[in-house]
């Protein structure tokens, strides 16, 4: 059995033989979600998406997620962390200047602001094209199935892929030479699935180190769960919680709880998802689909569309127009992975720090090189349970957790993994000359030595100082926007985004004009199995 050290040594040898370090070039992009709120009192905005920012249906970098007020910023793919951060800063600079004009700002936390109820959350609108209506009805379905408040949770998604030269190394290392193009793609897909399995074994570490949602506004839940305390009359918190967003209080979905998806085989994964897309669910049947001429959901199946399946990591392939994600995976294989576990960092005005992205790079290479053992149902179930426990109690480093091989103290388990991650980071820094990898892991080691450095602790301290979650996050939101307002927009940046906005609006108009069938016909065709 090969070890992590063996794999790193082989990778070093490959780089030496090819006189190139392109195998260590990672391709990454991020998606950052953030609620638009009123600057006066931190309430969710009821204004439409600013037209000056373009069409959320077609804009490549500024769109909306579930709600009209839940903005989503998407970067292009970059070969450097600095490229990602620079693009994200440009987007935030422009958006903050636009929102300032309408007395709004961006909510900095993953958990939402005070919400008076379901109807306080406006569902996103994408125009009158069939594609726009599809997105709208899907969100109506989410509202009727789970409620709108849960859909206002925001996060950071990290899209990541390895360079083609890395795949050349891995093929040789795993003795998979002389492969046909189809075999190469199958090998790549299988390898990404091995990464995903190891990610699921280890992702608790990301919740521990980067979880930043230990507190919620009381309006998020109808009643206070027993395991949460009361920070003040409007704020509930987990005394040792890291990420309530990733706990059962976050993305709750009892219907999906029995979906056994453990990423052992690409074909099995696709079959499981496709089956859920075709399996009626009684509770959803009771809602109805089209009632009194109005759509309540796309269908009554366990999943309306594939995006409804919630996971902390997803295998991905860029889709063609009208193509389902599973069909894209089936025909062309896994192209990249999407890490969805990350909370927003409220102390950063772009929701994340560059050191976090460097750490995720190290973490994902570690997951790729660790091995490819399958997950059985027992381990899969145990890992899900353990992830919940660390989300709710992970700051108790002396507590014992069962990671699938028996009970072990969290601090010991974390120290052991960080030791291995240090080895990976040292390798990357030595071979690329970029010390940011080593520094990123060292920063996380310091968090466990001094837990006051954990984002979850820092958020709670801010809530205590500023009289609760709502007030603390609104104060932070205003501070961050004020900082952006001191940074003037360059003419080139303004013109670039103005052109993007105008192009996106024109593109939406063209899509609406191009529709040839009514929505009922369009939907029936779209929902056909692929």
- Tens digits of residue pLDDT in 388-424: 999 999 999 999 998 877 889 999 999 999 999 999 9
pLDDT of residue 250: 76
DSSP state of 301: B
Rounded mean pLDDT of the chain? 95
pLDDT of residue 378: 87
* Whether residue 81 has pLDDT greater than 80: yes
User: Among candidates 91, 121, 113, 95, which has minimal Cα distance to 40?
Assistant: 113
* Whether residue 125 has pLDDT greater than 70: yes
Alpha-carbon distances, residue 185 vs 72, 173, 194, 264 (angstroms): 31, 16, 14, 16
- Tens digits of residue pLDDT in 39-64: 999 999 999 999 999 999 999 999 99
Share of residues in the chain with pLDDT > 70 (%):
98
Compute the average pLDDT of residues 6-11. Answer: 96
* Whether residue 260 has pLDDT greater than 80: no
pTM assigned to the model:
0.97
- Tens digits of residue pLDDT in 134-191: 999 999 999 999 999 999 999 999 999 999 999 999 999 999 989 999 999 999 999 9
* Whether residue 256 has pLDDT greater than 80: no
pLDDT of residue 253: 67
pLDDT of residue 377: 86
Coil/strand/helix, residue 156: strand
**Phi, psi (degrees; rounded to nearest 5) at 343:** -70, 155
Q: What angle do CA 138, 142, 144 make, to 5 degrees?
A: 115
Domain locations in the chain as residue ranges: 4-51+69-120+154-269+310-505
CB 261 within 8 A of CB 273: yes
**Sign of the alpha-carbon torsion through 104, 106, 108, 110:** positive
* Whether residue 1 has pLDDT greater than 60: no
* Whether residue 2 has pLDDT greater than 80: no
State the Cα–Cα distance between residues 264 and 192, nearest whole angstrom: 10
* Whether residue 383 has pLDDT greater than 60: yes
* CB-count exposure of residue 446 (10 Å: 0-12, 13-18, 19+): exposed
Q: What kind of fold does domain 4-51+69-120+154-269+310-505 have according to CATH?
A: Creatine Kinase; Chain A, domain 2 (3.30.590)
Label residue 249 by pLDDT band (50, 70, 90): confident
pLDDT of residue 322: 86
């Amino acid at each position: 059995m090969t070890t992590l050290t063996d794999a790193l040594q082989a990778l070093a040898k490959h780089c030496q033989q090819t006189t190139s370090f392109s195998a260590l070039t990672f391709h990454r992009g991020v998606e950052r979600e953030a609620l638009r709120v009123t600057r006066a009192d931190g309430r969710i905005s009821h204004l439409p998406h600013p037209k000056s920012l373009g069409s959320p249906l077609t804009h490549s970098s500024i769109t909306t997620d579930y709600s009209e007020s839940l903005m989503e910023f998407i970067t292009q793919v970059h070969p450097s962390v600095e490229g990602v951060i620079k693009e994200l800063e440009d987007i935030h600079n422009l958006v903050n200047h636009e929102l300032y004009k309408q007395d709004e700002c961006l909510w900095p936390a993953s958990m939402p602001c005070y919400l008076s109820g379901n109807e306080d959350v406006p569902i996103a609108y994408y125009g009158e094209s069939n594609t726009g209506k599809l997105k709208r009805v899907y969100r109506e379905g989410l509202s009727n199935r789970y409620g709108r408040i849960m859909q206002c949770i925001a996060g950071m998604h990290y899209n990541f892929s390895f360079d083609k030269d890395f795949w050349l190394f891995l093929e040789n290392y795993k003795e998979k030479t002389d492969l046909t193009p189809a075999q190469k793609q199958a090998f790549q897909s299988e390898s990404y699935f091995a990464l995903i399995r190891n990610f699921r074994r280890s992702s608790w570490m990301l919740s521990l180190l980067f979880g930043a949602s230990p507190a919620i506004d009381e309006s998020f839940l109808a009643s206070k769960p027993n395991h949460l305390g009361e920070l003040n009359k409007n704020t509930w918190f987990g005394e040792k919680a890291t990420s309530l967003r990733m706990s059962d209080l976050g993305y709750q979905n009892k219907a999906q709880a029995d979906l056994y998806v453990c990423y052992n085989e690409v074909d099995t994964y696709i079959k499981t998802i496709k089956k859920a897309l075709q399996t009626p669910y009684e509770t959803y049947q009771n809602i109805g689909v089209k009632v009194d001429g109005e759509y309540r959901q796309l269908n009554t199946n366990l999943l309306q569309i594939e995006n409804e399946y919630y996971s902390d990591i997803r295998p991905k392939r860029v889709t063609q127009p009208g193509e389902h994600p599973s069909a894209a995976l089936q025909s062309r294989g896994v192209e990249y992975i999407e890490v969805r576990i990350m909370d927003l960092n409220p102390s950063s005005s772009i929701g994340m720090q560059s050191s976090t992205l460097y750490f995720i790079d190290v973490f994902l290479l570690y997951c790729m090189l660790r091995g490819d053992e399958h997950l059985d149902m027992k381990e899969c179930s145990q890992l899900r349970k353990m992830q919940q426990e660390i989300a709710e109690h992970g700051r108790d480093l002396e507590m014992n957790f069962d990671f699938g091989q028996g009970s072990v103290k969290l601090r010991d388990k974390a120290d052991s993994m960080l030791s291995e991650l240090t080895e990976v980071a040292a390798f990357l820094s030595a071979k690329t000359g970029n010390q940011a990898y080593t520094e990123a892991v060292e920063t996380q080691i310091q968090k466990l030595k001094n837990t006051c450095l954990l984002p979850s602790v820092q958020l709670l301290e801010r809530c205590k100082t500023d009289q609760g979650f709502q007030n603390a996050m609104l104060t932070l939101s205003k501070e961050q926007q004020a900082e952006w307002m001191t940074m003037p927009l360059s003419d080139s940046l303004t013109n670039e985004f103005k052109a993007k906005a105008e192009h996106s609006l024109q593109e939406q108009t063209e899509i609406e004009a191009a529709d040839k069938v009514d929505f009922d016909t369009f939907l029936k065709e779209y929902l056909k199995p692929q």
